[in-house]
Amino acid sequence: MNMLTSFRSELLKSKRTASLYVCLFAAAIIPLLLVFDTATPQAIEALSADPWNLHFKAGIEFMGTLILPMFIILICTLLPQIEYRNNTWKQLMSSPQPFAHIFFSKFLTVHLLVLLFFTAYNLLMLLSALVVNYRITAIEFFDHSIDWHQLIVANFRTYSACLAIISIQFWAGMRFKNAVTPIAIGFGLWILAAVLVIEVKWEHVDKFPFAYPILMIYSKYSAVISLILWKSIAYAVFFSGLAYLDFRLRKVKAA
Amino acid sequence: MMPNSAVIRISGLHYHYSREENILSDINLQVEQGNLYGFLGPNGSGKTTTLSLLLGLLKKQKGSIEIFGQEFQANRLNILKRTGSLIESPSLYRQLTARENLEVYRSVYGAKKERVGEVLKLVGLEDTGTKKAGNFSLGMKQRLAIALALLHRPELLILDEPTNGLDPGGIVELRELIKRLNKDEGITMLISSHLLSEVERMVSHLGIIFKGRMLFQGSLEELRLFQQKQSRLKIHSSDNEAAMDILKDYHPEKTMEGLLIPFRDYQEVALINSLLTKNRLGVYLLQPQERSLEQLFMDLTSTHS
């Protein structure tokens, strides 16, 4: 029994669930908004200088701070809910698979969906740039080039900054039968992070994982981005380990 | 595998969720190869907990569980590869078709692609096409769950209350399927139920659990013998005191209306009658009180409550 078999089984059961639709819908929000954001002369002028890179920069800032955390909260809840809603945990746990394979194949599926979100988002951003180029002739996208390195780094940073959130939310999604609880926890912590960064300006906000995607766009933290990303990875490892331990030690309720 | 070897052997199993509440106390259960074993007990008696421990859904606290002669915890994967199960309600992905539901587990169990069609045919669901499992009737869902349990040709099938919620037609259909699988495919089965009438028509062996303790374990024949031993003859005569004396070898019991005597068969009833009449006693009432298996089950479980 290898991990790939368990992973394949996970992918098969997510067929026709809301996960894929949520992924595509979430990925389309920012590209769609940016098509209409270029309506004012000021926006057109600002974008004309370096259209591709400014378009992608504006997109990833909104995506990383607003859409991606919400998408993670939803997807980490929806995926374990497949088992809760269908009452299939007992069947799954009594199948001949190591518990680690069951747990980590679900965890990998979440990451796969996040990566799918990134792919769809970037493709839709390209498409949205083409639409802007067609609609507003003053912006000459094809007279400029894309800084691919900058684009890849920005995507990598955004993904890494969310690793801790993925692990925490995945734990909550696996832990609670009621879908409202992990969503409430996620949104609560996300709003708290925004308040701590924007309103309170808490000096230790770099220790709060839900704040990391927001810190990525703050110039104040640009010098310590690498450190923040390492913290995100460390938190992700810690909370994934904790979530696995909790999963292993939990009793499957029997009447 | 050796004939008549124990497929399941549970000894001295205890389990508690909290220190104050013992869910299982000293459970000893043995299922031999080829048995169709009925695990009987009222709701909340500890059946599902026992089955959950058998499948590793709960961690054993005290006692031992051996399946196929192997200790469960140390051989979990090997044992589960040879075991099919259905715990409580059918566990199916509602958004998937019957075939897709089986496909989810096919590779996990290492079954070949053609086996999916075979088990669907075996449970009569080969023509469900693109219909989603969520739109199946409960009977169809139950049959699909059994198909899932049969996917890897298990040697042991553990079914928890498989007839729960089924209509009479569905119950008969499922009962026939279970009997056929046991007889034709030689699958050893452990089936739990809270209704004796439901399992006595298909099982060869029975275990009765109540409040976490085993009250009876043996073959259906042994239970019937036990049932006979529990049968009483109600007697009312012209002189009940004298009748007590005449029938003292039968260990009579005095009641308000007369006496009660254990009896084996109707020949014994005739013999008792002739003994009384030979001693010139008028026999006003001679009423055999036989207990059905259902009553016996009720008695067994109520006397221990």
Q: Helices (H), strands (E): how many in chain A?
A: 12, 0
3-state DSSP percent of chain A in helix, strand and coil, to 5? 80, 0, 20
Identify the pLDDT of residue B293: 65
Give the sheet arrangement for strand B6-18, strand by strand. B21-32, B6-18, B62-67, B70-71
What's the confidence (pLDDT) of residue B305? 54
**In percent, how much of chain A has pLDDT > 90?**
79
Of the candidates B129, B121, B168, the residue with the CA atom closest to the CA atom of residue B147: B121
Reply yes or no on whether the pLDDT at B304 is more than 70.
Answer: no
Contact predicate A96/B81, CB 8 Å: yes
Whether A110 is in a domain gets the answer yes
Residue A57 — very low, low, confident or very high, per pLDDT cuts 50/70/90?
A: very high
Which residue range(s) make up the domain with A151? 17-249
Contact B48, B212 (CB under 8 A): no
Chain B residues with CB-CB distance to A95 below 8 A: 80, 105, 108-109
Q: Which of the residue ranges B30-34, B149-153, B184-188, B288-292 would you say has the lowest mean pLDDT?
A: B288-292
CA closest to B100 among chain A residues:
A12
**pLDDT for B215:** 86
- How confident is the model over A60-93, as pLDDT tens digits? 999 999 999 999 999 999 999 999 999 999 999 9
In sequence order, the 6+-apart residues with CB closer than 8 A to the CB of A177 are: A84
Q: Note which residues in 269-298 of chain B have CB less than 8 A from chain A.
A: none
Q: What is the tally of structural domains in chain A? A: 1
In a domain, residue A101? The reply is yes
pLDDT band (50, 70, 90) for residue B138: confident
A197 in any annotated domain = yes
Residue A227 DSSP SS3: helix
User: With an 8 Å Cβ cutoff, is A15 touching chain B?
Assistant: yes
Q: Count of A–B CB contacts within 8 Å?
A: 90
Q: Is the pLDDT of residue B52 over 80?
A: yes
Per-residue pLDDT tens for A137-180?
Answer: 888 888 889 999 999 999 999 999 999 999 999 999 999 999 99
Residue A255 has pLDDT above 70, yes or no: no
Angle at A39 between CA A34 and CA A43, to 5 degrees: 75
Whether B298 shows a pLDDT value over 80: the answer reads: no
The more confidently predicted of residues B265 and A209 is: A209
Percent of chain B whose predicted confidence (pLDDT) is above 70: 95
Six-digit token pair at B23? 């869910």
* CB A231 within 8 Å of CB A207: yes
In which band, very low, low, confident or very high, does the pLDDT at B21 lie, cut at 50, 70 and 90? confident
Task: Give residue-wise pLDDT tens across range B149-170.
Answer: 999 999 999 999 888 777 888 8
What mean pLDDT value characterizes chain B? Answer: 88
What is A144-190 written as a DSSP string?
Answer: S---HHHHHHHHHHHHHHTHHHHHHHHHHHHH-SSTHHHHHHHHHHH
Instruction: Provide the pLDDT for residue A254.
Output: 37
Among A87-91, B144-148, B171-175, the range scoring the smallest mean pLDDT is: B171-175
Is A215:A105 a contact under the CB 8 Å cutoff?
no
Confidence at residue B292, expressed as pLDDT on a 0 to 100 scale: 67
Per-residue pLDDT tens for B65-88? 999 999 999 999 999 999 999 987
Looking up tokens 């054993």, which residue turns up? B60
Query: What is the per-residue pLDDT across A107-120, written as a single tens digit (0 to 9) for each?
Result: 999 999 999 999 99
Question: Any residues with CB less than 8 A from the CB of B175 and at least 6 apart, and which?
Answer: B163, B198, B201, B202
| Max Cα–Cα distance, chain B, nearest Å | 80
Higher pLDDT, A106 or A223: A106
Tokens of B147: 């198909």
Label the pairing between strands B259-262 and B232-237.
antiparallel
Given this model, what pLDDT does residue A1 score?
A: 62
Interchain pair A251, B17: CB under 8 A: yes
Say if the Cβ atoms of A254 and B49 lie within 8 Å. Answer: yes
Closest partner residue to A86 (CB to CB) among B51, B85, B94 is B94
Q: Rounded to whole angstroms, how far apart are CA atoms A209 and A161?
A: 8
- Report DSSP state, residue B237: E
Residue A105 Cα, gap to closest chain B Cα (Å): 12
Identify whether A2 is part of a domain.
Answer: no
In a domain, A24, yes or no: yes
Distance CA A38, CA B9 (A): 74
CB distance A255–B44 less than 8 Å?
Answer: yes
pLDDT value for B4: 52
Largest CA distance in chain A: 69
What mean pLDDT do residues A129-136 have?
Answer: 89
Could A90 and B77 be called an inter-chain contact, meaning their C-beta atoms sit closer than 8 Å?
no
Chain A residues with beta carbon closer than 8 angstroms to that of B93? 13, 82, 86, 88
ipTM above 0.85 for this complex: yes
pLDDT at site A13: 93
The pLDDT assigned to B3 comes to: 47
Provide the pLDDT confidence category of residue B93 given band limits of 50, 70 and 90.
very high
Q: What is the mean pLDDT of residues A38-63?
A: 86
pLDDT of residue B192: 93
Q: What is the CATH number of domain B6-226?
A: 3.40.50.300
Q: E strands within B108-204? A: 156-160, 188-193
Residue B35 phi, psi dihedral angles, 5° rounding: -70, 150
What are the tens digits of pLDDT across the range B114-134? 999 999 998 889 999 899 999
User: From the CA of B109, how many Å to the nearest CA of chain A?
Assistant: 7
